[in-house]
Structure 1
Amino acid sequence: MSIKKKFLKGKPVVKITFEVAKEIANSAKSVSLVGEFNNWDPSASPMKSTKEGKFSTTVDLESGKEYQFRYLIDETRWVNDSEADKFVPTVYGDSDNSVVVV
């Protein structure tokens, strides 16, 4: 997994590329990036599969904030990003959410 941040000069926006490794996706048919920035909507940020078997997507996020997120694999399995800036408990208290700080 990886998170790559690209800060834009003169703009309060950061382009963030999220990637789920082939080993984590494990022959998945779909992976979605789900978080505060898209109202936790699994259909809002579908990730595209690459030839190498990874899944990737890029989103623009307002800088100076923290955003909780997780990956949803095949609409059934939630996964955190091991490269997240930090982790916080979910509102359900049964797991943690990944957090990206921009």
Structure 2
Amino acid sequence: MLERNPRKNRTEVTFVLPADTPPGPVSVVGDFNDWQPGTHTLVARRDGTRAVTVALPGGSAHSFRYLAAGDYWFNDEDGDGHDGVNSRLHT
């Protein structure tokens, strides 16, 4: 799930997943972090989910995916579409 919070010149996007699906650590990787795993790792929240927030320029589009333990790549079904194998996000 994606949560968006518009700011003056940027949008804070929070990437949200269930606490244990998939199990183990999960990172969101995309063109906004040069596809570097571990840069934006999701952390547990009180509501039973895990999340990470990334500030992105307003009016931009980005490709991203999630990377879980065991080299398991997957998309966000709540994204704004797909770019090949990647999810898309518009701010």
| Residue of structure 2 equivalent to 1:92 | none
The letter for the 2-side match of 1:7 is P
For the pair 1:70 / 2:65, whether they are aligned, the reply is: yes
- Which runs of structure 2 are paired with 1:1-102 in the superposition (5 Å)? 2-8=1-7, 11-22=8-19, 25-26=21-22, 28-51=23-46, 52=48, 54-89=49-84, 96-102=85-91
| Bigger Rg, structure 1 or 2 | 1
The letter for the 2-side match of 1:82 is E
Overall identity of the aligned pairs, in %: 28
C-alpha separation in 2, matches of 1:40 and 1:67: 11
Query: Alpha-carbon deviations, 1:47-81, whole Å to 9, x = none?
Result: 102352x3211110001110000000115100100
C-alpha separation in 1, matches of 2:18 and 2:73: 14
Moved >6 Å (runs of 4+): none
- Asked if the contact 1:31/1:75 (under 8 Å) is kept, the reply is no
Q: Which runs of 5+ in 1 are unaligned?
A: 90-95
